[in-house]
Amino acid sequence: MSGEWVSIENLKNYEGKDVEIRGWLANRRSSGKVVFLIVRDGTGFVQTTLSLGEYFDKESLKTWERLPLESALIVEGKVRREERAPGGYELEGRKVTLVSSSDEYPIQKKDHSVEFLMENRHLWIRSRRQNAVLRIRNQVMMSIHEFLQARGFTLIDPPILTPAACEGTTTLFALDYFDLGKAYLSQSGQLYMEAACMAFGKVYCLAPAFRAEKSKTRRHLTEFWMLEPEMAFYDWQDNMRLQEELVSFIVQEVLRKKRRELEILERDTAPLERIQPPFPRISYQEAIEILQRKGFPAQWGDDFGGDEESVISQEFDRPVFIHHYPAAIKAFYMEPDPENPDLVLNDDLIAPEGYGEIIGGSERIHDLTLLERRIAEHHLPREAFAWYLDLRRYGTCPHSGFGLGIERTVAWICGIHHIREAIPFPRQIYRIYP
């Protein structure tokens, strides 16, 4: 009698039952009378024991013992509790069906260079650690939707092909757009979310963003995913409160639902347990003072790079907001501080443990004249922004929003060094394959 097809992550519900697992051979070993097949199905790994006797004779054991890694197969057997097995269960094999035998698999146990693994990214995502990272990414995405939907936000998808810059003209990917001249890959959905929040109140997009970044750091991709909520009638402080609640929710949900993946990654979870609101808040001025106290040659007006962010974040045991940056080093759309127009009502959220900025947000300029002036000062093409200016003509109101970088957030939660492993198929200056 053959059992139900179940996924490995659900084996715990089938103790003592006959089941079927469909997957691939991740590893195998043999002790003469018993062959051990480590099978993965994408949801986990399980050891299947094939013993000489009722179900397997010498000949068949020999075949399974030599089965090439990554062959596709179906194993049937009884689920048994086994403390020593990863996941706590193993399968007493009754029958193995080969679906396809694999060619010699290029990724072996031995240490490969990251370059080689990236070149084989289409296969590397099968490995235990990469699988764990991407399953945590999935959880982060789902938790974002859950959090925002429960708070009455509407998901609004932004265009990817756009007529103008949002985050500065130096990082634009341009392309020829038929008879209409240049178009650009979106750097951010924000401007469209501003239109949408005037139609729906609270909105968000979760979409790819593109930056022709010249920086080859462990925090930069040319294509990354960004969550961008935008809220009508929120000021910059309402904005920060939403950010700390969202980030805390995401981290706590991963801790609750992705324990096994965090274990595979050997992530120290103590720093994650601390991620609860409120997060500390410091002004840009205070950030400069921290840096100077620590011997950094920081001057008022400087922007912070990864090193500066790490030094600042070491002062705190949870993410820290830095607010009130100089207007001169921030985007054109940020609302000036009414008490000091050289500053803006913005915040950057710096993750702990050296992961740097994961969020950039601000209150937006809602006054038409001021916004027109900023667009001119930044040498942005007025025609492309006509619709955006309209939002300041028809029922303009204070509003705020932010962008959360998915890969940086996932890399931080997973405790991995480079964000290229936090996205299935990374795009970097020197990589567009596979």
User: Do residues 132 and 265 make contact, with C-beta atoms less than 8 angstroms apart?
Assistant: yes
Q: Does 44 bind Mg ion (CB under 5 A)?
A: no
Specify burial of residue 295 (Cβ count, 10 A radius: 0-12, 13-18, 19+): exposed
Q: Does 410 bind ligand 4AD (CB under 6 A)?
A: no
Rounded to the nearest whole angstrom, what is the least distance from the CB of residue 391 to ligand 4AD in the complex? 15
Q: Which of residues 344-373 bind Mg ion (CB under 5 A)?
A: 360
Q: Does 221 bind ligand 4AD (CB under 6 A)?
A: yes
Phi/psi of residue 410, nearest 5 degrees = -65, -40
Nearer to Mg ion, 229 or 360 (CB): 360
Non-local CB neighbours of 230 within 8 Å, separated by 6+ positions:
190, 193, 194, 196, 197, 202, 203, 204, 399, 400, 401
DSSP 174-217: EEE-GGG-EEEE-S-SHHHHHHHHHHHSEEEEEEEEE------S
Nearest-angstrom CA–CA distance, 206 and 409: 14
Amino acid at 326: P
- The 8-class DSSP code of residue 221 comes to -
Nearer to ligand 4AD, 28 or 220 (CB): 220
Rounded to the nearest whole angstrom, what is the least distance from the CB of residue 403 to Mg ion in the complex? 8
Interface residue with ligand 4AD among 137, 202, 220, 399 (CB under 6 A) is: 220
Interface residue with ligand 4AD among 401, 411, 421, 426 (CB under 6 A) is: 401
Nearer to Mg ion, 39 or 406 (CB): 406
Bridge-based pairing of strands 223-232 and 399-405 is antiparallel
Interface residue with ligand 4AD among 308, 357, 363, 421 (CB under 6 A) is: 357
Interface residue with ligand 4AD among 39, 46, 136, 166 (CB under 6 A) is: 166
Nearest-angstrom CA–CA distance, 131 and 137: 10
Interface residue with ligand 4AD among 190, 243, 248, 313 (CB under 6 A) is: 190
> Which residue has tokens 């006054």?
367
Count the alpha carbons within 13 Å of 434 in the hemisphere toward its beta carbon. 12
Q: Does 23 bind ligand 4AD (CB under 6 A)?
A: no
Rounded to the nearest whole angstrom, what is the least distance from the CB of residue 195 to ligand 4AD in the complex? 13
Nearer to Mg ion, 184 or 402 (CB): 402
Taking CB atoms, the residue at the shortest distance from ligand 4AD is: 405
Rounded to the nearest whole angstrom, what is the least distance from the CB of residue 223 to ligand 4AD in the complex? 8
Nearest-angstrom CA–CA distance, 172 and 161: 11
Q: Does 361 bind ligand 4AD (CB under 6 A)?
A: yes
Rounded to the nearest whole angstrom, what is the least distance from the CB of residue 142 to ligand 4AD in the complex? 19
Amino acid at 140: V
Nearer to Mg ion, 189 or 360 (CB): 360
Bridge-based pairing of strands 89-100 and 154-155 is unpaired
Residues that bind Mg ion (CB under 5 A): 360
Residues that bind ligand 4AD (CB under 6 A): 166-167, 188, 190, 211, 213, 220-221, 224, 226, 228, 357-361, 401-403, 405, 407-408
